[in-house]
Structure 1
Amino acid sequence: MGRVFSTDQVPPQERLAYWHEVICRTFIQLDDEQAGGGAFRGQVRDRDIGPLQATRILTDPMTAERGSRHPRSLEEPLCLLAVQLHGRTIAQQDGRQAILLPGDLTLFDGTRPYRVDFQGRHFDHLVLRFPRTALEERGIDTGAVTVRRIALDSALGRLVTPFLLNVVQAADTVDPETGERLAGMSLDLIATALASVSGVERPPASPGEELLRRVRLYIGLHLSDPQLAPPKVAAAHNISLRQLHRLFARAGTTFGRWVREERLNRCREELGDPRLAGLPIAEIGARWGFPDASSLSRSFRARYGVSPREHRRAAAVDLSST
């Protein structure tokens, strides 16, 4: 479970100083924070997902600024991807300005000066913090993409924003290995979205890597099909069964193992989702390609050591205790 910091237990006259200390200690060094009138309120929730640190920030209207006085050599180069959830933000960095509305995304380079004005009666956003090298390795020049708005109503915004929110929601219900994989998928999507607003193209993948990417995407879109099998996938991509199995072998897995893992991951996420608490377990399994409750139960217990029902019950207890 992640950490939670709140101003609610702090005397009103000390809240802004406490908030500044919390942000600087757990998030990033800032030079100045100014709040509007009245008793300031704010809350920070953070958790780790592989190399990603996910921080949920809820606050009253305020302004935060990072200047140029922090020695870059003493800090790990970090990037911050902001996902606006509620309210309105005016973001500034590298001579650019963006106005963010709910669902919009933008990137900050954590080593350079920036300013954010959080507006609205209440402000809520999610920030994903990760090493700058994670984007550089994916062919992104961060200096070209800071504070470029990726709108929720854009093609990539509609894909990336819900995916990132679902990953963060699932963070407490997946094992570390799955968390690492979800983080990698998140960074791939983030890089793709950033490339789309900068004109920077990612380095071309090898033919084998590109084919595996397309095969995995196809599988992900057809996990609900209980008849999903190698011949069907191979035919959809005009390759032989031998080529298909070789693709997965080069990635260190097998077709069957990868499909089973993806299906179990989806089931585990939905079993831990309180919004789906009324959905029968068998129906969740059927949504992801398990023909009946018993086949889901056997696979689930073999993978996670508990039954689907036990996992759902434990997730509900964890949620009620937070």
Structure 2
Amino acid sequence: MNKIVEEIRVLLSSPQNIVITHHYNADADALGSSLALFHYLVSRGHKCSVVSPNSMPDFLQWMPAAYKVLKFDDQKNEVVKAIDKAKIIFCLDFNNFSRTKGLAPYLQKSSAKKILIDHHLNPEKTFDIGISKPSKSSTCEIIYDLINDLDDNGMIHIDIAQCLYAGAMTDTGNFRFSNTTSSVHLMVADLIKKGLNPSLVSQAIFDNYQENRLRFLGYILTDKMLLFPEYHSAIIAVSQEELNRYKINNGETEGIVNYPLSIKNIIFSAFISERDNEIRMSFRSKGDFNVNLFARNYFNGGGHLNASGGRSEESIADTIKNIKEALIDNKKILKQCYLDLQ
């Protein structure tokens, strides 16, 4: 890893044109890591553009410099120009170019040096330089480590601190998930020393929704949540019509998949949503039930031990049926993982 850091140090030793990008449907870790790195690199004299494959959810627009982010779906020409000029492209919080959707071909054909910084399992070997640390809580934590490894901890100002905290906080489920390590707590302690107010970031993310989102949450928990006690599992599925009825935008379903895990005896949760003519799935688990393997084996996806995603080309009804069949296949494993938690 020291060799990789030294390679990056050399690349950043003189001012460069740099693009920073992340996965489609950015969450707080994707956008937070991108903007934290943006602020750091600008402070070092580099010319940087943050490029997002599509528009970001409203509850993340508070992040410092979020208004400067170029959105590929709305500003394609500006994005392509920025990529064409770039000498370095930082690829954050994804490890497969397909995660950037329509942006992928432009990133792949670019002659710029491509640097992967990510914490998901099984990265593609298509990047020039790669920092892949699945043991880390978030990509934001890896960015924090990189700044430290470059001997620039003193350059972490309040804007960087807020962005880093947002990603680490959300990717650890408010520091509840098993990826909440001593290193992430040490990072947060350092950020607080630098002036971070954690409660303000928490309020900006979690207390910033419209009324319709809360009513939507009530509707799906009452009418759409299916429980399967024999598999210690739950499934929530919502259609495009239901999302439209409650005016739910991209990103506003973030975190809903975690709600069933608060039910006693439930250790696996799936959230299925229909949007833009495709079926997307989020999987979460407690204990040792590996939803990364679950997603890879059944739903063309992947991620982490306790958090992953997948996709389906079938209807919602057929997708629910397929998940039920996968639960049957994994009944013994789910039972043992449940018993291990008792």
The answer to whether TM tops 0.5 is no
Q: If the TM-score is normalised by the length of the shorter chain, which range does it land in?
A: under 0.3
> Greater share of strand residues, 1 or 2?
1
TM-score (normalised: structure 2): 0.25
Q: What TM-score does the superposition give when structure 1 sets the normalisation length? A: 0.26
